[in-house]
Amino acid sequence: MKIVRQRTQRMAFTLVELLVVIAIIGVLVSLLLPAVQAARETARSTQCMNNMKQVGLALHNYHGAHHYIPTTTTGPDKSDGGCGSGFYSWLAMILPFVEQETLYDQIDFSQPLADHCNYNVSSDYLNYSIGPNHPNAQAAKTMIGTYLCPSDPASVLQYHDDGETLAPGSYAGNVGWPKLAFWPGNDDSPLEKQNGVFGLLNPSSPDDWQVPQIRFRDITDGLSNTAAVAERKISSVSVVTSPWGGSYVAGNTDVNMQSFCGSSHRARSLEKWIPYCGSVTHGDPAYIERHGHAWISGWTFAANTYMHAMPIGDRNCHIYGGEGIGSNLVTPGSHHVGGIHVLMADGSVNFQSESIDMQTWWAMGSRNGGEIATDVE
């Protein structure tokens, strides 16, 4: 008799085969995921750059209509001992030129953009919030895509304990070097006037250093050589309350989201501002947590302007007493690898490396000092 043997057909993987397949998939994912993430970041970075180009176009159109670059008001008018109009950023001024004319028309610029603003009571900057009952609260929480870099994970509505809901912004305007700074080797001769691109004005307490209206013709170093706008990280710090009173920023905070303050008002050359800013240790949690949280605000600590002094991605610092006039060393930074996008005054956008030569970087921040930026990429 012939015996016929039937083969049993397997209907599933063995455990060993399954483990091998899983391991192969894991290897493929580990190889492909960084490439996918890199591609996504490239797309976000490109969008960030395109947004800055739109901002640059808006600046030129604003200048064409008004004959000067938009001004940021760092304080309000005094009104019967209290506060009148003020605290509006240059970003609020260019709204009609980024297809936001309806929103611009909704803003009541006669109102001070701050609650509890009364010079008869206090000029404490911590009172300058935009609460839910403020006439411009709705505008303050309106997200503007053009003002945001999608690479920044904090590009979302910002909520504060005092009831504020604020729309952030990723871009800050160059107001030049600190008031008490001078070019290396210039024999202790600090700036007499603001040397950046964006004018500042505190109507209630004007300062001779401020230049409220700056025109393109005032940028004598050349529009293509002078930085107008740079990326600045939107603050996402963790503030820790000390058991002994007071508060401070958590020690593991990104260095570009840390801020410290000092009381030394003496003039120093630009290269000496870096170690000075690195040496002051008095933390500034109440102010640093506001950086970038309100595109509408001209308040210095909303950080819609920056000073072209510290290395890209370094810490922030300020000198007590300089808040009202905008002399606050907000430092550009980004979530891109290796540098930031910078909008030049001619409307072009360049990616500047964190390792840029510092004298080249400082020269880019000055509109009229005769320095030439030769390392623009």
pLDDT by position in tens, the chain (length 377)? 555 555 555 566 687 778 888 888 888 877 777 776 677 878 888 999 999 999 999 999 999 999 999 999 887 776 655 567 778 999 999 999 999 999 999 999 988 887 766 554 445 555 667 888 889 999 999 999 999 999 999 999 998 877 889 999 999 999 999 888 888 877 767 788 899 999 998 887 778 888 989 999 999 999 999 999 999 999 887 666 666 556 666 666 777 767 777 776 678 889 988 888 877 776 666 677 788 899 999 888 888 999 999 999 988 887 776 766 777 888 999 999 999 999 999 999 999 999 999 999 999 999 998 876 554 44
Token pair recorded at residue 374: 């030769």
Task: Name the nearest CA neighbour of 356 among 374, 328, 370, 375.
Answer: 375
Token pair recorded at residue 23: 């391991």
| pTM as predicted | 0.85
Task: Name the nearest CA neighbour of 197 among 322, 365, 9.
Answer: 365
CA dist 322 and 196 (Å) reads 16
Domain residues of the chain, as ranges? 44-364
Q: What is the predicted pLDDT for the residue at 375?
A: 45
355 to 312, 337, 339, 350, 352: CA distances (angstroms)? 8, 12, 8, 14, 8
DSSP state letter for 368? S
Give the count of beta carbons closer than 10 Å to the beta carbon of residue 154: 18
Q: What is the predicted pLDDT for the residue at 3?
A: 56
Q: What is the predicted pLDDT for the residue at 122?
A: 44
Q: Are 358 and 314 in contact (CB under 8 A)?
A: no
CA dist 40 and 32 (Å) reads 12
CA dist 166 and 242 (Å) reads 27
Q: What is the predicted pLDDT for the residue at 300?
A: 84
Strand partners, 350: 342
CA dist 235 and 168 (Å) reads 9
Q: Are 325 and 307 in contact (CB under 8 A)?
A: no
Pairing of the two strands 268-269 and 259-262: unpaired
Q: What is the predicted pLDDT for the residue at 132?
A: 87
Question: What φ, ψ does residue 232 adopt, rounded to 5°?
Answer: -145, 130
Q: What is the predicted pLDDT for the residue at 285?
A: 67
Q: What is the predicted pLDDT for the residue at 373?
A: 54
Q: What is the predicted pLDDT for the residue at 377?
A: 45
CA dist 360 and 365 (Å) reads 9
Task: Give me the DSSP letters along 188-199.
Answer: S---SS--SSS-
**Cα 236-168-247 angle, rounded to 5 deg:** 35
Question: What φ, ψ does residue 24 adopt, rounded to 5°?
Answer: -65, -45
